[in-house]
Structure 1
């Protein structure tokens, strides 16, 4: 089945031609060559190729001046006009950069005033290690408790955690992988958590879509559970739930708007805000973030394992899957939970992992520009991996296009390193570090879902993907990796 972008939403990444100087720094970081234009001239975004990852937004350093040719009053009028064009809240004080993404904050704040609804929010794992930077705290400061407290003060009735959705993803995706390996199915199986990666596959490699896991992303999984399982627990109709997700990713609104992302006629998630938009909102409301008390996420959809936490970094999905898959396949305890061989930086990492009698071949891809190499080999029938994780952004979700904007390369390196360290520290400090041992996950399956890949979960938590382009011609290329080793977990 072929879909078009009009089936989902308008493009979310834009370049202002009145501001763009044609430096082409954005083109240099675009993984799919979607930035078009001559050097020194305004650039444009090819919406048919763009995967909405937002890396161009992160790197853009060209911004509107103070309009020195105008009076202060006229300059303010011009600025406000441009902010209205971008649907930005009127009191945001940051510079207006040439590359930007569509904002949803005004829509959310308007909806929050609607009476008679249960207002629910979920937060991605990487938000808790980046949000504090917007309030002057050091890179990587871990603030899940302050974040939960701030969201309650913004008016949400339930504060849930996408990490819970990540734990469910492992149960579903891990079971799917085991079935494909033991019973037959398209291999290698690719993760489907990253919407930019999914869109990339739909555009560039539509013939390989059956290799993707059929799981929705953790955000969409939790959204579906909020309006079914959660609605039952709260004794409220799904129609009366307004569900918002806080994400590090500029592609998540596109994912949220996909027609197939609904259950029983209700959208899984109603709206998505980025990390930066949440920070704007907190400041707009005058909330003293730094001095907020730590508060807990709501139960049960806010209780998560360390495995759910590490979804925010490259290699995290793979590590979480191995922690659970190993024990489901072998019925033995995994002797070591910290799996360093899947942790790393941008690029491709590969390994062979002994899981009982199975020599599991895995790969981790960080940055979509590196995915071509593996996908060309899959097309050619030359790729013998079982499981491949792909994240669109260079360090995973901690480097998403909606994260705090960092102007200097040195800052990016420091921030990514600190955020990653903080996420792994959060995992290490967790009492439960495997998705299948999360007691609230066990309860969810006992009370509601039944079993992974069962009838209920298949209906709510799995989806289909669609061809969005003609694909690219397969080319033979060698995989350049930064690690190719055998590992035994014993």
Structure 2
């Protein structure tokens, strides 16, 4: 053995090949050490202590936080290690709400799985658990702090991958918990409802908010005609809930199952994705020709849209005005199907099956309602759909495939690949090429825009026109691209953004998987589905031409804008009145609110706040003036923003605020 290349793991020599820690190297040796807090895409935390190993000369250490060194002799399965792991699990269980039989995560709970695997048959420690209230304040996620094991996965995912930081550790010692800032609910902070926290949570502490009962109720209502749309990414993931490999396309079986459940019509969101391609590409080429509002950012990901509203409001004019495929389908269905099916609009119930938790939030946005009624009435995740199949006792794997209903069930491959990162860009290029050159594509593939990298910059030549694209997944990456655009450092023409790493195929509503290659296999499944279809470009969908002729007044037409487009506006990140920086006791004659949100902070609001505090203190005005820090005036591009009394001031300097303060104090004194 060359000690420069190997470590010894349980008597076997394992070569060091660039692994960043012992855990990765040990897993390469086909030994699956238990972990809660380790995710290869996140920073090392080392809190759960389950991945402990015994190393000669070092003793017991966590393998996730220890780098491999040549000559190490490692043991992973001694009696001491097994006992320690069982004790760690017992301690977690002692402080854990153990309603496992009724927990929504019961069939895929990592705590439960490891307790069984490690042979934990009793909990010898007394439970000292005070029940904490559930957070059901939003339509997308449920947060149950009683089931949290403080692994920190959600905290790191939210900060490191999405750059949002909506939740963090709070308090100390035995009182430590994971919660949104300032004791708020998720709906009152900057959460974008992407659900990445739920994806990485090993227990039921954060889960997608279910709407199964609402859908069952609609299916049981004889007055309702219930139709359903299936998102592209669902077809390559649902099978995992029934023992199939990730990436296996199950569209036909899904249709059969939905018909058995009682849905009257089964359609494909990919039809609406084809619509999105025609509308978005036309909008983009119009902007490109006029040289205005470039780059154009995509708007199909509701988590990204909410992120932009909160963190990048000055870039909202750059977002495509196109609705997402889900919402295009909903508005089109509500506008056309009542007449086609001979029913009243209020008797049509539209259900979406989505890989995404943010879609639940999107469906409830006021922009997507008509007459007080939503275009999409209920959103189920892939997981919820699988549960409904199981509740009905349907043997999914034995079903004979059935076909989708027309016309809203017909799609091209361009609509199908919307579910992967780069898919929207590729679909747009397939249409843009034909529009710019007048020539039909020989090959529909634009493989240049594909790939797993979080940010991909590509230059694509379509005839005489050269386009510069940025394809981004993960909102922290999106923030970096947006900052470059805002600072004038980037000259992109088109930017595709998806919140979930890998795209919709890795959405929080998909079946939970801890396999490293699941995302890759789902991705390949959608590309294979594209290949098996006869048509690969959205403009080739014959039912789109019929739809534009009969309903939408042509691409970009008046009716198309009414049904398929929308607009967005800036949104507060924290729903709060702020807090007093000086002594908050007693009634004050005058109030000063200084925004300390990111946009204003970057423009100097913290320094301005300190100057005001010093001024009020030096002048002895603490009993008269209440200086408060607040979080958003919804004018982030005009910061620092300050409100003195009822006067709102933008782009403030200390001198401006002091002058207004002195003026109002004189008025109070008079």
- Same topology, TM > 0.5: yes
- Write the mapping of 1:147-166 to structure 2, written as runs, cut at 5 A: 147-166=254-273
Q: Is the 8 A contact 1:13 1:45 kept in 2?
A: no
TM-score, normalising length: structure 1: 0.85
Structure 1 residue 455 displacement after superposition: 0.2
Instruction: Report the equivalent of 1:125.
Output: 232
The 5 Å alignment of 1:119-268 reads 119-263=226-370, 266-268=373-375
1:465 aligns with 2:597: no
Residues of 2 paired with 1:14 and 1:277: CA distance? 14
Q: Which residue of 2 aligns with 1:303?
A: 410
- CA offset digits 1:25-71 (Å, max 9, x no partner): 1111111111211487220135321111111111111x3xxxxxxxx
Aligned equivalent of 2:541, options 426, 438, 443: 438
Structure number with higher relative contact order (C-alpha < 8 Å, ≥ 6 residues apart): 1
Q: Could you tell me whether the CA contact under 8 Å between 1:263 and 1:460 is conserved in 2? A: no
Question: Could you tell me how far 1:116 is from its partner in structure 2?
Answer: 1.7
* Separation of aligned partners in 2, 1:192 and 1:27: 26
Give the superposition deviation at 1:183: 2.2
Change (3 A) 1:59 1:209: same
1:33 to 153, 165, 174: 165
Q: CA deviation at 1:464?
A: 1.0
Q: Which runs of 5+ in 2 are unaligned?
A: 1-136, 574-596, 604-670
Task: Report the CA distance between 1:264 and its aligned residue.
Answer: 5.7
Unaligned runs of 5+ in 1: 1-8, 64-96, 477-490
Distance 1:127 1:214 in 2: 25
Task: Write the distance in 2 (CA, Å) between the matches of 1:99 and 1:118.
Answer: 33
Instruction: State TM-score, norm by structure 2.
Output: 0.62
Pairing 1:395–2:502 present = yes
Find the counterpart in structure 2 of residue 480 from structure 1.
Answer: none
| Equivalent residues of 1:377, 1:383 under 8 A apart | yes
Q: How does 1:33-112 map to 2 (within 5 A)?
A: 33-38=165-170, 41-45=176-180, 47=186, 48-61=189-202, 63=203, 97-112=204-219
Tell me the secondary structure at the aligned position of residue 43 of structure 1. Answer: strand
Distance 1:339 1:359 in 2: 14
Instruction: Summarize deviations over 1:80-112 as a string: whole Å, max 9, x none.
Output: xxxxxxxxxxxxxxxxx1121211111111122
2:527 maps to which residue? 424
Q: Give distance in 1, aligned partners of 2:139 and 2:230.
A: 23
Give the CA deviation at 1:352: 0.9
Whether contact under 8 Å (1:362, 1:386) holds in the other structure is yes
d(CA) in 2 for partners of 1:11, 1:241 = 21
> Residue 326 of structure 2: SS of its match in structure 1?
helix
Are the counterparts in 1 of residues 269 and 329 from structure 2 also a CA contact under 8 Å?
Answer: yes
Q: Greater CA deviation, 415-424 or 9-18?
A: 9-18
Worse-matched range after superposition: 416-425 or 464-473: 464-473
Q: Does 1:275 align with 2:382?
A: yes
When Rg is computed on C-alpha atoms for both structures, the one with the higher figure is 2
- C-alpha distance in 2 between matches for 1:472 and 1:307: 38
398, 401, 417: which one pairs with 1:294? Answer: 401
Contact in 1 for aligned 2:193/2:357 (Cα 8 Å): yes
Q: Secondary structure at the match of 1:142?
A: coil
Q: CA deviation at 1:113?
A: 1.3
CA contact (8 A) 2:352 2:379 kept: yes
Per-residue CA deviation, residues 166-208 of structure 1 (Å, 9 max, x unaligned), is 0000011010001100124311000000000001101110111
CA contact (8 A) 2:139 2:360 kept: no
The answer as to whether partners of 2:218 and 2:226 remain within 8 angstroms in 1 is no
Correspondence for 2:152 among 7, 15, 24: 24
Q: CA deviation at 1:312?
A: 0.5
CA separation in 2, counterparts of 1:265 and 1:51?
24
Structural mapping, 1:402-421, within 5 Å:
402-406=509-513, 408=514, 411=515, 413-421=516-524
